[in-house]
C-alpha cells in the first residue's frame, strides 16, 4: 500500500526540526514560541513512529499546499493546529478525499461555522457539515490540566502568594490573616467539560458553584444555581472577580470568575 497523507494547518510557519517547550516570554524583548511550533513537530514525530504509512503535509498558506498538489488530493485527514478558518476555505477544496477533520483545540465554534458554509469539493451541492466527513475536537483533553491551573490561580490570590514571595525576597516575617476560599462563589459562563472539571475541584474546597448557560433547565449536581442567558446580570451580582478566556471560543465560551 502506498503512502497516505495528513494535512496539518498552522497559523505560522513551523520548523519541524525544532521541538521547543511551551514557555512564556522571560523578558520584554523575547517572545514564546508559536503554538504550532510547540505542537506540530511532536505530532509529526509521533506519526512517523507509530503510523509509518502516513506522511504529514504541513503549511500555513494555500501556496504551501499547491506545490504538493497530488499528495494533497490524496490526503484523508485534516489536522487543524491553530489555523484561522479562512485557511480552511482555501485548503479544503484542494483535498477531495478527506475523511476526517480534527481540531487540536477544544473550542470549535469557528470551525463548525466554516464547515457549514463550505461545500464538498467532489459535490458542491453538499455542505461539508452534511457530507459524512468525521469531525472531532480535543474536548476533555485539557480539562484536567485547566482544572489544576484554575485552582492554582484561585489559591494564588486567596492566600496572597505574591505577598509571601515578596516577604521571602525581603527576608521579612510578616504576620497577616489569609483569606479562605471556603464559601466563596465560583461562576461559569458556559458549562462544558472544562467547567465541570473545575466545578468538581471547587466543591472539594467547599466553594459555591453557579453557571450561566443557554438552557437554565439543564441542571448539574455540582451547581448550586443555574441561570439562563437572560439572567446574566443577576448571576454577575454574586461574584467578585472575572477571569476571561482567550478569544475564539464563540458563543459557547467558558469564562470563569470568582
| CATH, residue 227 | 3.40.50.720
C-alpha distances in angstroms, 195 versus 2, 210, 213, 242, 255?
A: 44, 10, 11, 14, 9
Q: Can you give the residue range of the structural domain that contains 203?
A: 143-257
Last residue of a domain, one of 136, 152, 173: 136
CA 258 from centroid of its chain's CA atoms: 21
What's the confidence (pLDDT) of residue 16? 85
Domain identity same for 122 and 47? yes
Domain identity same for 120 and 209? no
Last residue of a domain, one of 92, 110, 136: 136
Residue 99's domain is classified under what CATH number? 3.40.50
Tens digit of pLDDT at every position of the chain (258 positions): 689 999 999 998 888 887 766 655 555 556 777 888 888 999 999 999 999 999 999 999 999 999 999 999 999 999 999 888 888 889 998 999 999 999 887 666 667 777 778 877 777 777 777 788 888 888 888 889 999 999 999 999 999 999 999 999 999 999 999 999 999 999 998 888 899 999 999 999 999 999 988 888 888 899 999 988 766 555 555 554 444 444 444 444 444 444
Closest CA to 97 of 68, 67, 73: 73
CA distance 8 to 40: 8
Q: Which residues contact 116 (CB under 8 A, 6 or more apart)?
A: 127, 128, 129
Number of domains observed in the structure of the chain: 2
What's the confidence (pLDDT) of residue 228? 84
What's the confidence (pLDDT) of residue 170? 95
Q: In what order do the strands lie in the sheet with 185-189?
A: 225-227, 208-212, 185-189, 255-257, 242-243
Domain identity same for 14 and 77? yes
Domain identity same for 150 and 168? yes
Domain identity same for 18 and 125? yes
Domain identity same for 88 and 178? no
What's the confidence (pLDDT) of residue 102? 92
Backbone angles phi, psi at 38, to 5 degrees: -75, -40
Domain identity same for 8 and 132? yes
Domain identity same for 85 and 129? yes
Letter string b/e over residues 192-205, b meaning 16 or more CB atoms within 10 A of that residue's CB: bebbbbbbebbbeb
CA distance 137 to 3: 25
Domain identity same for 54 and 147? no
Domain identity same for 148 and 131? no
Cβ-contact 257, 184 below 8 angstroms: no
Domain identity same for 147 and 246? yes
Amino acid at each position: 500500500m502506498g503512502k497516505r497523507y495528513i494535512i496539518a494547518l498552522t497559523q505560522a510557519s513551523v520548523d519541524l526540526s525544532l521541538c521547543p517547550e511551551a514557555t512564556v516570554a522571560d523578558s520584554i524583548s523575547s517572545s514564546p514560541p508559536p503554538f504550532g511550533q510547540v505542537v506540530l513537530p511532536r505530532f509529526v514525530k509521533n506519526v512517523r513512529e507509530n503510523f509509518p504509512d502516513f506522511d504529514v503535509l504541513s503549511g500555513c498558506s494555500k501556496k504551501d499546499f499547491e506545490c504538493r498538489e497530488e499528495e494533497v488530493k490524496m490526503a484523508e485527514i485534516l489536522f487543524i493546529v491553530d489555523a484561522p478558518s479562512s485557511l480552511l476555505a482555501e485548503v479544503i477544496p484542494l483535498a477531495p478525499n478527506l475523511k476526517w477533520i480534527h481540531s487540536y483545540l477544544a473550542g470549535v465554534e469557528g470551525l463548525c461555522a466554516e464547515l457549514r458554509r463550505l461545500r464538498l469539493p467532489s459535490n458542491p451541492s453538499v455542505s461539508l457539515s452534511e457530507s459524512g466527513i468525521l469531525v472531532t475536537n480535543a474536548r476533555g483533553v485539557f480539562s484536567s490540566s485547566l482544572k489544576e491551573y484554575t485552582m492554582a490561580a484561585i489559591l494564588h490570590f486567596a492566600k496572597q502568594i505574591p505577598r509571601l514571595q515578596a516577604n521571602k525576597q525581603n527576608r521579612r516575617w510578616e504576620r497577616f490573616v489569609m483569606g479562605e476560599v471556603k464559601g466563596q462563589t465560583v461562576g461559569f459562563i458556559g458549562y462544558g467539560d472544562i467547567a465541570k472539571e473545575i466545578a468538581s475541584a471547587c466543591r472539594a474546597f467547599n466553594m459555591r458553584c453557579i453557571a450561566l448557560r443557554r438552557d437554565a433547565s439543564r441542571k448539574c449536581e455540582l451547581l448550586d444555581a443555574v441561570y439562563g442567558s437572560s439572567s446574566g446580570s443577576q448571576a454577575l451580582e454574586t461574584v467578585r472577580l472575572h477571569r476571561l478566556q482567550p478569544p475564539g471560543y464563540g458563543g459557547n465560551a467558558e469564562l470563569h470568575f470568582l
